[in-house]
Amino acid sequence: MPSLIDTYAKIESSISVRLHEFEQLGSGKSFDIWCEMIYCTCTPQTNAKHANAAVEKLKALDLADHGYVEDMATVLRDCGVRFHKNKAKYIDINRTKYKDLGDWIHGFIKQHDVLYTRNWLADHISGWGYKEASHFLRNIGYGEEICILDRHILRCLEEHEVIDSIPKNLNSSYMEIEQKMLEFSRQLGIPNAAMDLLFWYTQKGEIYK
DNA sequence: ATACAGAGGTGTTCC
DNA sequence: TGGAACACCTCTGTA
């Protein structure tokens, strides 16, 4: 089995392209950032490509801006997004409050910092906890100080003995495990923002988001 | 075949 | 006060 460093060397350029795309998205149109919020709301327990397909279909049907909850739920279900009813509700709630988040999130982050912003997002965006708040921030170009601790990453961390075992309840230990992963990335000399894509590549054999 | 775990978690309830 | 337990939902892979 090749080491993480070897694998990273092999796919570094592909990862760099992806990370650059995240930055582009973050500095792009507010509507695109809103669509990324929809994506992150759809993602939990759901195939990432299904979540992405749902976003594209919502856009194609002009539902992302102002669709009824029921219509959005139908699209999510048809695209294979799990918990489609709840997630359609979350999208509706978030839209009424934070559809323009892309217009001010960068100033917000500059004024506070990424960690504070993640807390704020997890508290204020319906359907987001630490994991999805981190996912969103990474996807708009702020992945250097935070980790997306989903079950796959936790499994990788366990395999590489960064953590002894996967905790039953993440809430209490998210920051602690995150620190260990940040330290791990420093030891390897691999940018933290790339670690998530690298781990996913080792499991799935491709780079997605 | 039929069952059953697993899927890029989060919100609510209950003690 | 905080943690388990459960609901949300449906499809796929595996034995």
Considering only CA atoms, name the residue closest to the C1' of nucleotide C8: A83
Catalytic residue, chosen from A87, A99, A131, A209, is A131
Interatomic separation, CA of residue A81 and C1' of nucleotide C12, rounded (Å):
13
CA–CA gap between residue A2 and residue A108 (Å, rounded): 41
User: What's the rounded mean pLDDT across residues A144-157?
Assistant: 96
* pLDDT of A5 above 90: yes
Interatomic separation, CA of residue A74 and C1' of nucleotide B11, rounded (Å):
21
**How many CB atoms sit inside 10 A of residue A190's CB?**
19
CA A103 to centroid of chain Cα atoms = 19
pLDDT reported for residue A1: 64
Mean pLDDT check: name the lowest of A41-55, A124-138, A140-154, A165-179.
Answer: A165-179
Bases of chain C below 7 A from a protein C-beta are 2-4, 8-11
Place of tokens 């920051």: A175
Mean pLDDT check: name the lowest of A16-30, A119-133, A157-171.
Answer: A157-171
Q: Is strand C less than 7 A from the beta carbon of A77?
A: yes
User: What's the rounded mean pLDDT across residues A26-38?
Assistant: 97
With CA atoms as reference, report the closest residue to A149 among A94, A192, A105: A192
Q: Using 50, 70 and 90 to split pLDDT, how confident is the model at A201?
A: very high
Q: Is strand C less than 7 A from the beta carbon of A50?
A: no
pLDDT reported for residue A209: 85
Contacts of A183 (CB under 8 A, 6+ apart): none
Question: Which amino acid does the sequence have at A82?
Answer: R
* pLDDT of A2 above 90: no
CA–CA gap between residue A18 and residue A187 (Å, rounded): 23
A204 versus A95: which is more confidently predicted?
A: A95
Contacts of A21 (CB under 8 A, 6+ apart): none
pTM to 2 decimal places: 0.97
Confirm whether A131 is a catalytic residue. yes
In this structure, what DSSP letter does residue A142 have? Answer: -
CA–CA gap between residue A114 and residue A61 (Å, rounded): 34
Percent residues over pLDDT 90 in chain A: 91
With CA atoms as reference, report the closest residue to A184 among A151, A209, A153: A153
DSSP letter for each residue of A41-95: HH-TTS-HHHHHHHHHHHHHTT-TTT--HHHHHHHHHHTT-TTHHHHHHHHHHHH
Look up residue A16 and give its two tokens. 């760099």
Residue A15: exposure state from Cβ atoms within 10 A (0-12, 13-18, ≥19): buried
